[in-house]
Structure 1
Amino acid sequence: MSDHMEWPLGDALRAERLKRGMATREAARRAGMSDTMWRNLERGYELRKGIRFDIAPRPETVANAARAVGITVDMAFQMADIEIELAQDFAYENVDLTGVPHERLLEELRRRLAAGAPPTAEEIEAHPERYTVIGRREPKPDRKTGP
């Protein structure tokens, strides 16, 4: 991995997956993600039109991948250089916006981008009409993988 960032999480995911005799497809299925996403996590980069881009996975993605192969989430966050406090905010709260009109979503997105920060738990509680917290999402075992 000399031509892109160092990515210790990828090495650990690959080593644990192979130690358990798991194929990439099986690890991805257990983590609730596509084969491509799993490969990107192991490599530390994604390919777009033949160009390598370092990845910055969401904390929830890292946590699901770690659990799939038996790595502790704390250890995975350290290897991925994710701050634990930030990761906990994202790993355990999901917001369902499916019923919100597109115009309102765009307006809120513009506001948040201008503010430069994701919503806090206090903000969500103060304005429940804007959000529906649906709890922690578990990976779906029957999720399609790949194109």
Structure 2
Amino acid sequence: MAVGTLFLASSSHALEAPKSKVFLTLNGNVAVKNAGERADFDMAMLAALPQHSFTTQTPWYREKKKFSGPLLRDVLDAAGARGDALKAVALNNFKVEIPVADTRQFPVLLARLMDDQPIPVRDKGPLFIIYPFDADPALQSTRYYNRAAWQLRSIEVR
């Protein structure tokens, strides 16, 4: 089993403070902070990162869905995150651990759009960590389905 460590130099630019409602907080091993000991992101900050999309089948929807947003690794990079594991926490306090190596091996998205529309809370939004399940048969397993964290509110970098 490969174990990857995320190590990024801090950006020469400070992370701007959110100008509207905070949708995501990164804490733990983050070097670029904008709110005390954490990095907070509003939706505009996430939208300002490079955006990516893929369409994939999931166990939660009958039809394939198009997911769009920044790569999770780009969000981690923006906060100068370093570590081996991520603890993703949902709005309902559900927690799941995600190896940082996944963000380097696969184009894991922090989806903010589904089928080109903001994702409502009742439909697993507003943020959804999603893997490109159709891109690799290895991803079509309970291991990776369980790492797809919806209604995401925070990530602790360990």
Q: Normalised by the size of structure 1, how large is the TM-score?
A: 0.25
Bigger Rg over Cα? 1
Instruction: Please identify which structure carries the higher helix content.
Output: 1
Instruction: Please identify which structure carries the higher strand content.
Output: 2
Q: Normalised by the size of structure 2, how large is the TM-score?
A: 0.24
